[in-house]
Amino acid sequence: MPRSRRSLALIATLALLPGLAACTSTVSMQPAKDANDPACAQIIARLPKSISGQERRWTDAQATGAWGDPASILLTCGLEAPGPSTLPCRPFDGVDWLVDESQADQNRYTLTTFGRTPAVQVYLDYAEASSADIASALAPLIRDYLPATGQVCTSPDDATPAPTPSTTP
């Protein structure tokens, strides 16, 4: 190939790179402590291509997933299973979710599986994605691949101990 054609081909390729990079940007995330758990690999390999109208994107950390541009749904698998919590716990399609609404003023929720090990956590921008869509898309994977611990959501009334009889003489 003559030098001028090679130069032209190189210039054309370089001109396309910024556009290609924008289409394939990777979402930077941190893996959880137990990201190497085989159950997480099963889930990550089967994540849906889209959730709540948001398209899946590549991430740079093991056992993570992201959707939207900018990312409005971030998933991390491999967290330690949470213990009893004062957060609202909502069952959906056979999976219990702890719902942290502490950043609701910023349109953000965090959903964490409860009663499954390892745990999955989903951080979402609820202005862009529905928590019901997320739970619906992920519930079959979680039910099928994350072992249940036997813990289930309870209401505060269920957790209140019954009064004990007094032993007054």
Phi-psi group of 90: left, alpha or beta (phi > 0 → left; psi -120 to 50 → alpha; rest → beta): beta
How is residue 93 written in tokens? 């399609």
Minimum mean pLDDT range among 85-94, 109-118, 151-160 = 151-160
In this prediction, residue 11 carries a pLDDT of 37
Q: What is the pLDDT of residues 3-33, one digit of tens each?
A: 444 333 333 333 333 444 445 589 999 999 9
Question: Domain map of the chain by residue range?
Answer: 27-151
Q: What is the pLDDT of residues 70-98, one digit of tens each?
A: 999 999 999 999 999 999 999 999 999 99
Angstrom distance (rounded) from CA 92 to CA 131: 10
Whole-model pTM: value is: 0.78
